[in-house]
Structure 1
Amino acid sequence: MATQTTDDVIAPPRATPPGGHATTGAALLAAGFFTYIVSFASASPMLATVSATLILVFIAMNLRRATAIVRSFAAVALLIALWGLFRNSLSPSDLAVAGGRVSFLTSILIALIFLRLVAARDPAFQAAGAFLANQPPSRRYVSLGIGGNLFGVLLNLGGLGLLIEMTLAGQRRLETVSAVSPAVHDVRERRIVTAIVRGFATIAFWSPFGIALNTLLLIFTEVHWRDAAPWGLGFAALFLIVGGVMDIVERRLFPVFPKPVAVPPAPGDGLGLLAVLGHLVGLALLVIGGDHLLPYSFQEVLVGVVPIYAVIWSMVRHGTRGPARLVGDFTANAPRYVNEIGVFALAGLIGALLVALVPQHALDPVLEAVVDLGGPVALALALAWVTLLAAMLGLHPIISVVILAEFMVRTPLISQQAALLSLLTGWTLTVCLAPLATTATYVSAILDRSPVTVSLRWNGLFGVITLALASGILILGISWHWF
């Protein structure tokens, strides 16, 4: 059923040396990444613009092999930039801010790519996935939801695909021993995939390595990760609890027969999960500690620490050959990163350019009308719902949240923490519900199913319930001054 293998999901090392095209692409990405690090170490915005230029050259060079969404983003960004320059609406400072956004988003992704490449060679992740997948049905939803979160934090979409592939492969092996009807197979597949995807979606709420949270923290300068993470973890727990209760109710009301065979995890699989948790905790402690000790922002420390951790991890796994192997894997797979990097870099660029082109107080009447209608609560709910609605219509959430966040900073009608949680609520539900979102198209390709099926059909009721509950928490939090 799958159209991608596990090796396709986490970029595998290649047996043949990379060609000149791959080497050039890797050199551009590496140069852009290290230029960005030098830019914040030397407090030079000009170098951040140079970094963004190198990244955009990489995207342009690989545009032929990019997906339609990346090519359309490139065309839109170019048209907006040309329009702004032609109308003299974009100043050098506006372009510098946009370049900084591109270099920042890309650098986080490149840092996580290094981490992902090392993890791809570590058998602990295979063991951890097997441990989570082989839990009995009564615990499987929670274990896979947590697994989708953990694997996604460290491996991004690659971790999502890896866990789905491993779990469904085990399910197919069991079904060859005990045959089931197509209807039962579909029910089991849906329960497995929705648990993993919903867990993956909640990364946006709290992960110190996540694009969503770090993008907003870059804009909401009054909010720090330590201020947002506790509330984010609470929202993530809410999503897990709602999904777990729905799974229990469904299994009680609509049981499937024959009942799934429970295969206990192998003796060493639990140690694999502990290793994954160890990497996550270790990385988080390093980044948080560096944030306290070093004169750099949380995001700058993150970009600097993660690749160093990846190099050390590769040396622990493979000795002195580890770093060379890591560089080889990165070089061989560089052209494939155009889709991952292109989506976020270009979406960030579009958002920054649009904000610069919109007059300073253009949205003030709309925002003030919303507040007059229902108070600050109405504005917070509007941020979440508009983000979700825009994504349902095809607008990438990073564009909508950047624009909305920038206007929240310009017109502080609610606290930055409340605005951040509202936007993250919309972003998280986008991952579950939007058929045009990256996650839906990615998962649908793995399962060979429609993006509408893996999003709205499988998660529609879950989305309605969690949106209502999250909205209720936002209402209480603002009314009672929790945030």
Structure 2
Amino acid sequence: MRATIATIALLSVVVGAIAQPLGGGAAAGFVAACGLIVYVLLEGWSCQGNGRIILLMAATAAIVTVIGHPAPWAVLSKAAMAAAAIIGLFTALGFLREAAESSALVQSCGELMVRQPPGRRYLALTLGSHLISLVLNFGVLPLLGTMVVKGNTLEAAGGDPRIVAIRSQRMLSAMLRGFAVMTAWSPLSVSFAVTVTVIPGLPWQSLLLVQALLAALLLILGLILDRRAFPPSGQALPGIGGATDWKPAWRMAALVAAVVIGAIAVAELLSLRLVHGAMIVVPPAALIWLWVQQRDVLNVFYGLGPKLRVSMPAFRDEVAMLGGAMFVGTVASAFLSAESLGQIIEGLGLPPLFLVILLAWAVMILAQLGISQILSVTLLGGALVHVAPPLLLASALMGAWALSACSTPVGAAVLTVARIGNVPVRRVASDWNGRFVLAGAVVLAFWLVGLDGLLFAFG
């Protein structure tokens, strides 16, 4: 009964999150927030580690708000709706995983990827994840992640579990980095929307060009670090090569293209952001995919119910960390202001370029502590908006957002990859991607120095 109620509660969050941009407004947001509260009350007690810590922080933030804010219920309502919106998005896009897990096509594509030489495999996955995520956002991770995990079998590795583990790390890291770097430049991403809002008058066309170059640098950095961490051994690897039939890959590309085109069409038709179009299209697309596999509508719905009653309650840690971080960040924004932070920062007397680099690194560090990039970029970016050139500041914010997206232990992307790979969240964030993020932070700093010089030279 508890699992059933928790599943219904989380599904109501999805419905509310989808209905809100369709005209449901505050009422839909309220339904989603209530569903999230019910889910947390039922499943929050079973959270582990970081999930419990974030929930404790959220409860503390709520108490402090009730005691110390002049309009506590308005703040808490806004925070709960913001948390419900991000959880609704996370859950809706995860529906593809339910269909992918039982798909023979996914199995075939996964086996095809595993048979590729390691370098080519990394490049294909990181570029594929990068491009598909332009519309599907982190919905690309359960789709491609399930595909490669199902193909990365012990049999394909010649019976060597060490090879299975290495392939899992390299393939999932390639996907995660490809997705994360998308947020450095995509005009369809949340990072782009928040940044152009925080920095008024920003020439978005110039920003798009500049950030596309930065994204290319970060993708190349990931490829180099992968090759350095796993240099070619010169020995024949099990399961590599042989006859290659690319038909499954083309069929998978057609399926993804259909979802992408559907999301674009719905977004354009209803005048929504593409991420909302994807939220609307993905759940029915997953049901259609299941129907194509089984050819029986009744079997699809009868089979999906028990699967959801297992998978939905199991999202408890992701819901706690992701929704809790959004809740805490939204509450914090009610007590802090960009203007007051700006006065403090300007009082330090540091050069603007140095402040911008420190700002980028601060966004990355705060993400490790569970502070949402939406909050840190809004507050810190707004604090420096009159100190540094707009293009320089925007590039720093979006670059930091991209790097922190694959390293924060409370981020949707890291949580999704950890669940797919069946590994601890910290292993994905630190062990797999720590070196990439640290190297990326250095690359970002040099990039900002070069960009500042170009902006000075060309006025």
**Residue of structure 2 equivalent to 1:264:** 241
- CA RMSD, Structure 1 to Structure 2 (Å): 4.2
Q: Distance in 2 between matches of 1:218 and 1:341?
A: 22
Pair 410,470 (structure 1): closer, same or farther in 2 beyond 3 Å: closer
Aligned pairs for 1:7-406 within 5 A: 20-42=1-23, 44-146=25-127, 153-156=138-141, 159-160=144-145, 163=148, 166-167=151-152, 169=154, 172-173=157-158, 175=160, 190=166, 193-194=169-170, 196-206=172-182, 213-214=189-190, 217=193, 220-221=196-197, 234-248=213-227, 256=233, 258-261=235-238, 263-264=240-241, 267-268=244-245, 270-319=246-295, 320-321=297-298, 322-359=300-337, 361-369=339-347, 373-375=350-352, 377-391=353-367, 394-396=368-370, 399-406=372-379
Q: Distance in 1 between matches of 2:288 and 2:238?
A: 40
Q: Distance in 1 between matches of 2:100 and 2:450?
A: 41
- Deviations 1:125-170 (CA, angstroms, capped at 9, x unpaired): 2222211111124524323434665699445368547635743735
Q: CA deviation at 1:193?
A: 1.8
Q: Does 1:470 align with 2:444?
A: yes
**What secondary structure, in the 3-state scheme, does the structure 2 residue paired with 1:340 have?**
helix
Q: CA deviation at 1:50?
A: 3.1
Q: Distance in 2 between matches of 1:444 and 1:22?
A: 19
**Residue of structure 1 equivalent to 2:400:** 426
- Deviations 1:205-262 (CA, angstroms, capped at 9, x unpaired): 3279x9x9437636754799999877666544333322333455677xx653644246
Q: CA deviation at 1:28?
A: 1.0
Count of paired positions: 443
Structure 1: gaps spanning 5 or more residues: 1-19, 177-184
Q: Distance in 2 between matches of 1:450 and 1:340?
A: 10
**Residue of structure 2 equivalent to 1:15:** none
Q: Which amino acid aligns with 2:439?
A: I
**What secondary structure, in the 3-state scheme, does the structure 2 residue paired with 1:264 have?**
coil
Pair 399,306 (structure 1): closer, same or farther in 2 beyond 3 Å: same
Q: Which amino acid aligns with 1:75?
A: L
> 1:52–1:103: 8 Å Cα contact kept in structure 2?
yes
**What secondary structure, in the 3-state scheme, does the structure 1 residue paired with 2:340 have?**
coil
> 1:207–1:229: 8 Å Cα contact kept in structure 2?
no
Q: Distance in 1 between matches of 2:256 and 2:211?
A: 17
Q: Distance in 1 between matches of 2:206 and 2:264?
A: 13
**What secondary structure, in the 3-state scheme, does the structure 2 residue paired with 1:80 have?**
helix
Pair 22,415 (structure 1): closer, same or farther in 2 beyond 3 Å: farther
State percent identity of aligned pairs.
Answer: 18
Q: Distance in 2 between matches of 1:307 and 1:478?
A: 44
> 1:160–1:197: 8 Å Cα contact kept in structure 2?
no
Task: Give the TM-score, by structure 2 length.
Answer: 0.79
Pair 77,294 (structure 1): closer, same or farther in 2 beyond 3 Å: same
- Deviations 1:312-345 (CA, angstroms, capped at 9, x unpaired): 3333333324355444432342211212222211
Q: Which amino acid aligns with 1:41?
A: L
